[in-house]
Chains A and B, each alone.
Chain A
Amino acid sequence: MRARPRLLGLGLAVGLAVPPAAGSDLKDLHFGEALYHAHLGEFFDALQRLDVELAQYHGLDEPGLDTLHGHVHDAEFSVGDFELNYRMHHRAGRAIRAVLEGAVDETVRNEAAFRLARIHFQKGQLEDALHALARIEGEVPADIRDDVEFLRANIEIATGRPSEAVDVLARLQGDAGLAGFVAYNLGIALLQDGRPEEAIAQLDRAGQRTAVDRADLAIRDKSNMVLGSILFEANEFERARQSLDRVHLRGPFSNQALLRAGWAEASAERYDRALVPWNILAAREPTDAAVQEAMLAVPHAYARLDLHGRAALGYGRALELYSHQIERVDASIASIREGRFLDALVREETRQDKDWVIRLRRLPDAPETYYLMELMATHEFQTALQNYLDLEDLQARLIGWNAGLEAFEDLIRWRELNYEPLLPDVDARFRELDSRMRLRLEQRDHLGDRLEAMLTAPRPEHLATADELIAGERLTAIEERLGAAEDRASLALRQRVARLRGALTWSLETEYHERLTAAHQHLSELNVHVDALTRQYDAFVRARQAATHSYVGYDVRIERLRERVRDARKRVETLMARQGHMIETVAIHRLNARRNRLVSQQTQARYAVADSYDRAARAGSALEQR
């Protein structure tokens, strides 16, 4: 059944989003950088950066102090979105599941559950999606409230519970952002629920909505297409035509709409009116299947109007077109077999444009792209193509990394050549300086300790100046020379020595506090220099370590990386060959199918042209006879 994938696709169109962290709100530059790459469509780089950032965050002792802390849930959600965008469905959801299992606020947990459900839905794991939605309880953030319900409705439709979906969608009709999708999906849900009259009325409303952007226009066209088909099958040709006439003439559904509008008129035996859409269609891009069908439909209508001459001419033109198109399809198949299809796909300019699929057919010298739009119609084919491009990108990266590893080894070798002769001398000088520095630091510490001790046990003699110390020593020497002599002269000298010592002691005692303060000041001044010296010492130690770390200990790591790169390159090459072959094979299958159809149409046209000429001739002779 085709309705389901349509609904899935349309549901995804609304749901896929990345949390915002724009401008001044952003507190983590690395997360912002990951978002920048995501906005550029570089999901590999986005994932790589965010994975590293999250791993670092989760390894922190105090993650609350990290700049990512305020965005961590958005970052976890973004990882899931990036993985989906990079077509890594298996991994997508792991980070979000971690948020869901963690101790987080109710609103964050509910948002995580919604995002997980959406990922399961996109992966086609509908029961898991429902299970995730069932975990939502309590307060749901206002900006996703309707998205949650819309997703719930989509899952219910996809799991065959349309009546529940109808109830949910009916409540969502007021959401301006979802209105087009809700209107269309409600029509489909009513149809699946066995309420055709209500479904037709709903699709009619959806098909007459005012479109404000491309998405609105596409969903409106889609509604009209589906409605037209339902009415056509119900033999309500006039209403079917009215609905199909509303399809935008330049939209992606317009060819099918014109074809069906013509058939609606033809089924009501109004061939003259059927010619209007069919003639418009017949003048369009001749590789389109609807256009090719119109090439037969137009002369068929003329024949039914008894205009056999014009019918014969029309069949003649159809024959010519089919022959030409068969040649083009053959050329396309040959071109694909020569590998030009894949070459065209990997051209850089095709990938710079978001409409690259459409642009491809305009490329010169690429006949294989004539039928590309149809070849690329299925989701699987799109995925295969994107995977091929991703593999090509991975291959380019791996080749670059391999060269990068060689450059790293060169760098390491040059560093080793530079540092090895220098470092022994540097180390020897450092050791000498280090021992001198240690000695001075010990002296400083000793002085500090003594001063500290003097705060509680004053020792004035410790604060004597050098002159005072010399004077004191000289006085002691004089005293020793005087010995125990009792003569007059000695007694007089001893008294003088005692007076001088008293004067010395007086100075030391009375100036003690000033001297102690000065000593502390000097020590503080010394500390400034010691701190500068310590910083310089630390900087040297770091620089010295960095010198060693810049070339020692990388061999094993680089060799291991090189092995991983080599292994990955082999696997990528093998996969690329398989993927490329698969794409070419599928493309050729599809082109062969188109060729068979063209051959069948050519045969029909060949018989019909002969028949029309006969009838025209008979009509002509009948006229002459009359």
Chain B
Amino acid sequence: MTRRNRIMGNGAAACVFAVALLFCVGDAHGSDPQDDRRQMRGLDEQVQEIKSDVLGIAEELSRLEEKLLYPSGTQVAIFVALAAGDTMRLDAVRLQVDGRLVAHSIYSAKELEALRKGGVQRIYVGNVSSGSHDLEVRVDGKLENGEDFTRTEQFTFAKEVGPKLVGLTLAGPASPTPIALEDW
């Protein structure tokens, strides 16, 4: 499989493939399939238009939400990614900012797969004052040999005037930095 086929190779492509197979198997029953098809296409065009409009609303709403709830002066967002090629099965991540529990995420197989494919999860977005803050990260997972894996680490990050983005890259115990923090 080529490099570019990796991301969606098993998802959308497989889905389209399944559709293609279904298409091949199906019989051409129906009283007026041409008419049905024409009407479906007409509706499809309208659905595409409304999708576009709703996406526009979502963007505007997202900007409003950010301005109202997480203004740049206080905004902090924490992201979680998995180290490339790491085999640990991530079960849960727990975050405490300045001793206060702010996020506790338990991962489904689908979410874990999305992370393994290179996706980045925004696990927390909130507000903190300018200055230095403590971040405690606890990771629970399972190793390839079936052993449980738990790791807790403390970090500090500095919040300045602009929005603060904190990236956490997680890996198993074989990695020199099972929990790596990077400021963005």
In the bound complex, CA of A379 to CA of B20 (Å) = 8
CA distance A289 to B27 in the complex (A): 8
- B residues within 8 A CB of A549? 67, 71
Q: Is the CB–CB distance between A550 and B50 below 8 Å?
A: no
CB distance from A286 to the nearest CB of B (A): 16
Q: Which residue of A lies closest to B10 (CB)?
A: A354
Contact A19 B31 (CB under 8 A): no
* B184: A residues at CB distance < 8 A: 29, 67
**Which of chain B's residues 42-78 have a Cβ closer than 8 Å to chain A?**
43-65, 67-69, 71, 73-74, 77
A576 CB, min distance to chain B CBs, angstroms: 9
Q: Which residues on A sit within 8 Å (CB–CB) of B41?
A: 380
Contact of B117 among A35, A253, A554, A561 (CB under 8 A): A35
A539 to B119, CA, bound (A): 36
Q: Does A10 contact B (CB under 8 A)?
A: yes
Contact partners of A412 in chain B: CB under 8 A: 68
CB-contacts of A514-573 with B (<8 A)? 539, 542-543, 546, 549-550, 554, 557-558, 561, 564-565, 568, 571-572
Please state if A41 and B81 are interface contacts (CB–CB under 8 Å).
no
Complex contact A18–B1 (CB within 8 A): no
B24 within 8 A of A: yes
Residue of A at shortest CB range from B114? A39
Q: A48 to B65: give the CA distance in the assembly, Å.
A: 14
Q: CA separation between A374 and B29, bound complex, in Å? A: 9
Residues of A within 8 A of B5 (CB): 14, 17, 177
- Is B126 positioned at the interface, with any CB of A under 8 Å from its CB? no
Known: A24-B169, A253-B25, A373-B22. A91 touches B121 (CB 8 A): no
Measured CA separation A384–B47 after assembly (Å): 10
Contact partner of A575 (CB less than 8 A), chosen from B11, B27, B50, B58, is B50
Closest Cβ of chain A to B57, distance in Å, is 5
A203 CB, min distance to chain B CBs, angstroms: 15
A9 located at the interface, meaning its Cβ lies under 8 Å from any Cβ of chain B in the complex: yes
Interface size class of A (residues with CB under 8 A): 35 or more
The reply to whether B67 and A16 contact each other, CB–CB distance below 8 Å, is no
Query: How far apart are the CA atoms of A336 and B63 in the complex, in Å?
Result: 42
Interface size, B (range): 35 or more
| Cβ of B165 under 8 Å from chain A | yes
B40 at the interface (CB under 8 A from A): yes
Give Cα A550–Cα B40 distance, bound, in whole angstroms.
46
CB distance from B37 to the nearest CB of A (A): 5
In this assembly, does A195 line the interface, its C-beta being within 8 Å of a C-beta of chain B? no
Q: How far is the CB of A592 from chain B (nearest CB, A)?
A: 6
Are B7 and A546 in contact, CB atoms less than 8 angstroms apart? no
Interchain CB contact (< 8 A) of B4 among A2, A6, A17? A17
Closest A residue to B115 using CB positions: A36
Asked if A36 contacts B48 (CB within 8 A), the reply is: no
Which of the residues A177, A354, A355 comes within 8 Å of B1, measured between beta carbons?
Answer: A177
Residues of A within 8 A of B (CB): 2, 5-6, 8-10, 12-26, 29, 32-33, 35-41, 44, 47-48, 51-52, 55, 67, 81, 85-91, 143-144, 146-147, 177, 214-215, 218, 222, 252-253, 256, 289, 354-355, 357, 373-374, 376-384, 387, 390-391, 394, 397-398, 401, 404, 408, 411-412, 539, 542-543, 546, 549-550, 554, 557-558, 561, 564-565, 568, 571-572, 575, 578-579, 582, 585-586, 589-590, 592-594, 597
For the A-B complex with A8-B20, A36-B114, A589-B30 known, give 12 more contacts whose Cβ atoms are closer than 8 Å.
A18-B4, A35-B118, A40-B119, A87-B47, A90-B52, A289-B27, A398-B57, A412-B68, A546-B71, A561-B61, A572-B54, A589-B36
Pick 21 A–B contacts, CB within 8 A, sort by A: A12-B20, A13-B14, A16-B13, A16-B16, A22-B6, A23-B85, A26-B81, A29-B77, A35-B119, A38-B8, A39-B11, A147-B4, A177-B5, A373-B22, A387-B47, A391-B47, A546-B71, A568-B53, A572-B54, A592-B31, A594-B29
